[in-house]
Amino acid sequence: MTNLALAATEEEKMERFMEKIEKGIKIEADDWMPEEYRTTLIKLISMHGMSEIMGALPEKEWVPKAPSLHRKLGIMAKVQDEMGHGQLLLRVAEDLLKPYGKTRGDLMQDLFTGKLKFHNVFHAETRTWGDAGLIGWLVDGAAIITQTDMLNASYGPYARALHRICAEEVFHAQHGEAIIMALAEGTDEQRAMIQDALNRWWNSLLVFFGPAAKETLGTSKQDVTIKYKIRTKTNEQLRQDFFTKYVPRILSLGLELPDKTMHYNEEKEVWVYQEPDWSELKAVARNEGARSQARLNLRRTSYQTNAWVRDALAATIS
């Protein structure tokens, strides 16, 4: 635009943008947005999307092994949903990436090179059927808590995707809880299976919400995401919500909390718990978790093995 009088300056655009954010007006894919907002969203949503896709892999390990016809059907449907969420979210991320000329293929490459991360919980190994239940119950349970907090995210396409995703995640948590309850009401070996799974996953579940303050790891996106009303609660508030919801349920199933020091401080109205080992998060950020490389390798290999299929499809379209 040559007419300077009519052209809105960057500051004016920013002012209008923040006004919309404050008023709760949704930002849409084609709207003007500051670079920081776009890059924050890309990082958040592509990580969320890729985590759904990489998150299908640990559970997938137990799909063929599910112990009954009913469980086989349930877990197949559950993992399929996760892939579907991944697809939905990558579509949202792809729109945001357009100005940079990047595509889903680039996101996949970023995943392979380690530039794009996936959630810490999906780097862990799954040892027993108890893990398959626990992932559905508590990992999805934790995800519901963080995602519900973003249902009113300022970015419309993400908020709408989350509405669909959360509706399905509730089923997943019920699916996981049903597996866990069957085991809890079962034999000694079955009960031992879930206690063992809980003990092994506890640290990852706490780490999942992120550090309370950026001093813990040196970086945190929580301030930016709150400023732009993408989310409302801090990492610590979300972790506390998780405890409030799940600690009573864990205890009611006759399971023991892996953290023996954990208690609720009535006066301060907070759960007091042992700080998780944050080195886990640093390790998975470098893709050095127990199963990080194996799962990345699985995805990379299948991507390469199937390259001829994508080429063949591209040839029939053009």
| Interacting residues with other proteins (CB under 8 A) | 53, 56-57, 60-73, 76-77, 79-80, 83-84, 86-87, 90, 129, 179, 182-183, 185-187, 189-190, 294, 297-299, 301-302, 305-306, 308-313, 315-316
Which one, 80 or 113, has the nearer CB to other proteins? 80
Which one, 87 or 274, has the nearer CB to other proteins? 87
Task: List the structure tokens of 156.
Answer: 């419309």
CB of 142 to other proteins, least distance (A): 21
Which one, 6 or 314, has the nearer CB to other proteins? 314
CB of 61 to other proteins, least distance (A): 6
Which one, 17 or 137, has the nearer CB to other proteins? 137
CB of 190 to other proteins, least distance (A): 6
CB of 318 to other proteins, least distance (A): 10
Which one, 57 or 165, has the nearer CB to other proteins? 57
CB of 84 to other proteins, least distance (A): 5
